[in-house]
Structure 1
Amino acid sequence: MGKDKLKRFAEVDTFSNVVQLDAGIPYKGNWAAEFFKNNQPVVLELACGKGEYTVNLAQLFSQKNFIGVDYKGNRIWRGAKTALEEGITNVGFLRIQIENLTDFFAPGEVDEIWITFPDPQPQISREKKRLTAPRFLEKYKQLLKPGGFINLKTDNDGLHAYTAEKIEELGLKLHVKTEDLYHSPYADEVLNIKTYYEKKYLKDNKNINYLKFSFD
């Protein structure tokens, strides 16, 4: 591991807005009250990477709490550091494997979920690792409040199509579907948030897919 990564791992361990995977489960059922010290809605970004989307959402919506979830601490470091430096208090980060979400959040504790440019896991043998595979959707269903939305933003046409199929197969409620977000009427200030990788995709003239759906 490079020196920069080691430095970031050490530094992120000192950040007050990061909960590490070895911290136990101190906030399950009480993220708003105990971690954020308020009673505002809780929104998750899964596989948040550097946390760009998480931080930007928090800046747009001061009346909500945002938690970026990722396993790689050296990535989380960037978003967490930005939030601390800019005094953004309604954002935090949780370093865990996403399959363990239900260990860290209580049923009905989450108002909305964002999945932005996840690894599409294109091989058939890795279908279970896709963040919109049925086993993950079942976890999200437990965590979301009634009427809570899931948002998938991806450059990968295969993952977009796969998720749309699962929405139909499982009888979920589809609210928005587009294969070309920035040439659609849906590109508002929230969906116009662009991560580092998305900007690269757009420079290569890659279309951006978006799905918004719920369980009820």
Structure 2
Amino acid sequence: MTTRPGGGSAAAEAIAADVLELCAGHDLTLAVAESLTGGLVAAALTAVPGASRAFRGSVTAYATEVKRDVLGVPGELLAERGAVDSDVARQMAAGVRWRLGADWGLATTGVAGPDAQDGQQVGTVFVAVAGPQGHARTVRLALDGDRREIREAAVAEALGLLGEELGKRISRRSAGQEESAGSQGTEQSGGDGCLQP
């Protein structure tokens, strides 16, 4: 998915309000692990009055060691693939969910620029959601813009993904179609949009 910059924090806060309303309306809690966004996702969530009904907290895991030591991302994975990776994002989301005792975990990792990192180009971002019963989804984004624009777009995309996954899960639960444990996928940008294992 390629996103053009625009909207900034106001757009992210509007999406955050929708996400928090979904969570609070279904007694769900949320925790966030951030790398490239450096606390901007948490800021968008806490800008919404009443966020404490659903938002448990966040970890800004900017340093690789924090990803490993606080969020439980395996050191071998970080050494082999670097911090900008779909599996790292997935582990971050699961780790913050566990660490903060939340129903849902959301994570961001990527390259805001100005230079490439871990073999990934500027604008490459991985966003992951981890939920109940082993549910996980990771999306690779290719974002345009300068450092600020990439980070702002990543916040909106992350919150949008979480809202989408929450909506699906709540709809299934309401219809009595709880999905099987361990449902996971990684959606890559470009191509046919199929989930990649």
* Interval containing the TM-score (normalised by the shorter chain): under 0.3
TM-score, normalized by length of structure 1?
Answer: 0.26
Q: Which has the larger radius of gyration?
A: 1
TM-score, normalized by length of structure 2?
Answer: 0.28
